[in-house]
Amino acid sequence: MQRYATVFREGPSLAEGCRRIGEVADSLAGLRVDDRSKVWNSDVVEALELQNLMVLAVATMHSAEFRTESRGAHAREDFPARDDVNWMKHTTVWVDAGYETSLGARPVHMNTLTNEVEPVPPAKRVY
């Protein structure tokens, strides 16, 4: 993740990262827990944490490759500009048991849930 999903990202390194994270995820198929204790089994807890972290890493890597714009903390050097026309949407990703991903998007809701607060229109971050 530190090598391929860095702060400043580019398509080729993200594609390589997707390939490499897939190899690491595939290696978890051989994961075994030999400790069979029934009271606070730290091996089971660590295996579950590792599985959870792998799902998150796969989702992050594939989502970053999918989103071809720069916005907020997601900075693509090959797509330096924010693109509200094509990317005013949330990226969605599903990771299955075999660490395969399905990517999609859902719209950004531009209204608030109450009339007490006015919606804040999107704006480019400038410093």
Q: 99 lies in a domain?
A: yes
Domain that holds residue 57: 8-107
How far apart CA 85 and CA 126 sit, in angstroms, is 19
Q: Residue 55's domain is classified under what CATH number?
A: 1.20.58.100
How far apart CA 96 and CA 74 sit, in angstroms, is 24
Average pLDDT, the chain: 92
- 43 three-class SS: helix
Given a cut of 80, whether residue 13 has pLDDT beyond it is: yes
Is residue 68 a contact partner of residue 21, using CB atoms and an 8 Å limit?
A: no
Q: 113 lies in a domain?
A: no
| The total number of structural domains that make up the chain | 1
Span 36-54, pLDDT tens digits: 888 888 999 999 999 999 9
What mean pLDDT is predicted for residues 96-114? 94
Q: 62 lies in a domain?
A: yes
Q: 119 lies in a domain?
A: no
The pTM of this model reads 0.86
Task: Single out the residue of 64, 3, 57 nearest to residue 25, CA to CA.
Answer: 57
